[in-house]
């Protein structure tokens, strides 16, 4: 791989042994045809199965394949970020390992790029093999984030896309650690276009995004692109204060008018409980932002590369 490749394909991998051979077969068929000068950058995100062995064997056999291995699991977004940072191509395609993003769409992405687009997103027209509850939650999240922030995100665009070298350079300059890559790609701008495709179910294996990771991703997306939760809490605070002032006024007036103050502890109890709830929510939301600030201030690297097949060809 002497000269710079035209296309880099970045594949985050976490325990995907069951799909890797099929992925490799389909990827190389497609790439041989549409972009002979390419490299494939597999980022092994601390897999505990056979994935690293399969990848290293592949990179030994094929100089176009590069394998970065993380020292542990750092998460999908960190793996995508590492892939983009290490890719050399004039164009970079980010694709999931599980074949939910069909490699056969890559030629369409390339065609758009060659026609002058700098970001080409693959838009899912159909999503097969995902639970209705999961899809409903994902839809609600995107509704929320669209209302609350200025970045235009839709539920039908994931991380499957092509970005131009210039976009990659811009992304690499962004210092933040809690990465929500699809939001950042929107944020950096450049000329966008879209290609539609059918999203298949997973080829094999289980999703590596349990609800806990999905919620974490949603929180990252929300807090890095919107301060609306903080503002909402402030408004709520004002509203509750106004309400309690109103109650005081009501009590005074009824006392002066009839001599009989509203009796009973129920109202007091409800008010106290309500206020406590509001305050806890407010503290929680503040905490979410403070945590992010704390993460950024610590300045720890986003990921740690344990080995790179390009630098030391046979790490075992
Ligand atoms: N992945 C990763 N690190 C993780 C979780 C997932 O690199 O901690 C990879 C995974 O191997 C796959 C992609 O990210 O290539 C998307 O994950 P998955 O298909 O499990 O998510 P889903 O499609 O179910 O949302
Ligand atoms: Mg998947």
Give distance in angstroms: CA of 1 to centre of ligand 2. 30
Q: What is the mean pLDDT of residues 94-120?
A: 91
Q: What is the mean pLDDT of residues 6-16?
A: 94
Instruction: For residue 20, name the pLDDT band (cuts at 50, 70, 90).
Output: very high
Tell which atom from ligand 1 comes closest to the C-alpha of 11. 15
Q: Identify the DSSP state of 105.
A: G
Give me the pLDDT at residue 124, please.
81
Choice between 142 and 150, residue whose per-residue pLDDT is larger: 142
Query: Using CA atoms, how far apart are residues 245 and 231, in angstroms rounded to an integer?
Result: 21
Q: Whose CA is nearest to atom 8 of ligand 1?
A: 75
Q: Is 126:199 a contact under the CB 8 Å cutoff?
A: yes
Half-sphere exposure (CA, 13 Å, Cβ side) for 221? 28
Ligand nearest to the CA of 47: 1
Q: What is the pLDDT of residues 28-67, one digit of tens each?
A: 899 988 888 899 999 999 999 999 999 999 988 888 999 9
Q: Whose CA is nearest to atom 3 of ligand 1?
A: 76
Query: Using CA atoms, how far apart are residues 73 and 80, in angstroms rounded to an integer?
Result: 13
Give distance in angstroms: CA of 207 to centre of ligand 1. 7
Query: Using CA atoms, how far apart are residues 36 and 38, in angstroms rounded to an integer?
Result: 6
Give me the pLDDT at residue 1, please.
46
Instruction: For residue 265, name the pLDDT band (cuts at 50, 70, 90).
Output: low
Q: What is the pLDDT of residues 277-295, one digit of tens each?
A: 778 777 877 877 887 788 7
Ranges assigned E (strand) in the chain:
7-13, 38-44, 65-70, 91-94, 119-127, 157-164, 192-199, 305-308
Give me the pLDDT at residue 284, please.
76
159 lines ligand 1 (CB under 6 A): no
Give distance in angstroms: CA of 129 to centre of ligand 1. 15
Query: Using CA atoms, how far apart are residues 21 and 104, in angstroms rounded to an integer?
Result: 16
94 lines ligand 1 (CB under 6 A): no
Q: Is the pLDDT of residue 2 over 60?
A: no
Ligand nearest to the CA of 130: 1
163 lines ligand 1 (CB under 6 A): no
Q: Whose CA is nearest to atom 25 of ligand 1?
A: 209
Tell which atom from ligand 1 comes closest to the C-alpha of 12. 7
Per-residue CA distances from 47 to 50, 51, 79, 208 (Å): 8, 6, 12, 11
Give me the pLDDT at residue 287, please.
79
Give me the pLDDT at residue 263, please.
65
Q: What is the pLDDT of residues 157-209, one digit of tens each?
A: 778 999 999 999 998 988 887 778 888 888 888 888 888 887 777 777 777 77
98 lines ligand 1 (CB under 6 A): yes
Q: Identify the DSSP state of 202.
A: P
Instruction: For residue 73, name the pLDDT band (cuts at 50, 70, 90).
Output: very high
Give distance in angstroms: CA of 8 to centre of ligand 1. 19
75 lines ligand 1 (CB under 6 A): yes
Name the β-bridge partners of 126.
198
Ligand nearest to the CA of 42: 1
220 lines ligand 1 (CB under 6 A): no
């Amino acid at each position: 791989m002497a000269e710079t490749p035209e296309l880099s394909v970045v594949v985050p991998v976490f325990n995907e042994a069951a799909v890797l051979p099929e992925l490799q077969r389909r990827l190389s068929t497609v790439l041989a045809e549409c972009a002979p000068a390419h490299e494939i950058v597999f980022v092994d995100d601390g897999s505990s199965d056979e994935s690293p062995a399969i990848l290293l064997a592949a990179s030994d056999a094929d100089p176009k394949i590069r394998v970065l291995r993380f020292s542990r699991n750092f998460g999908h977004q960190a793996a995508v970020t590492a892939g983009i940072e290490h890719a050399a191509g004039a164009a970079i395609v980010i694709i999931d390992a599980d074949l939910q993003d069909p490699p056969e769409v890559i030629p369409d992405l390339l065609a758009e790029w060659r026609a002058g687009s700098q970001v080409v997103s693959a838009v899912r027209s159909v999503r097969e093999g995902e639970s209705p509850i999961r899809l409903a939650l994902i839809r609600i999240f995107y509704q929320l984030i669209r209302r609350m922030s200025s970045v235009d995100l839709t539920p039908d665009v994931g991380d499957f896309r092509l970005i131009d070298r210039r976009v990659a350079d811009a992304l690499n300059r962004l210092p933040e650690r809690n990465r929500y890559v699809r939001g950042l790609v929107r944020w950096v701008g450049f000329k966008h276009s879209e290609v539609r495709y059918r999203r298949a179910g997973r080829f094999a294996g289980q999703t590596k995004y349990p609800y806990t990771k999905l919620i974490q991703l949603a929180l990252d997306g929300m807090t890095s692109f919107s301060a609306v939760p903080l503002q909402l809490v402030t408004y709520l605070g004002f509203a509750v204060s106004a309400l309690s002032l109103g109650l005081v006024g009501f009590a005074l007036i009824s006392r002066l008018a009839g001599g009989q103050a509203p009796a009973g502890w129920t109202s007091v109890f409800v008010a106290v409980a309500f206020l406590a709830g509001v305050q806890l929510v407010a503290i929680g939301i503040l905490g979410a932002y403070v945590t992010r600030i704390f993460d950024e201030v610590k300045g720890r690297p986003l990921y740690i590369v344990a080995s790179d097949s390009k630098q030391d060809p046979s790490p075992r």
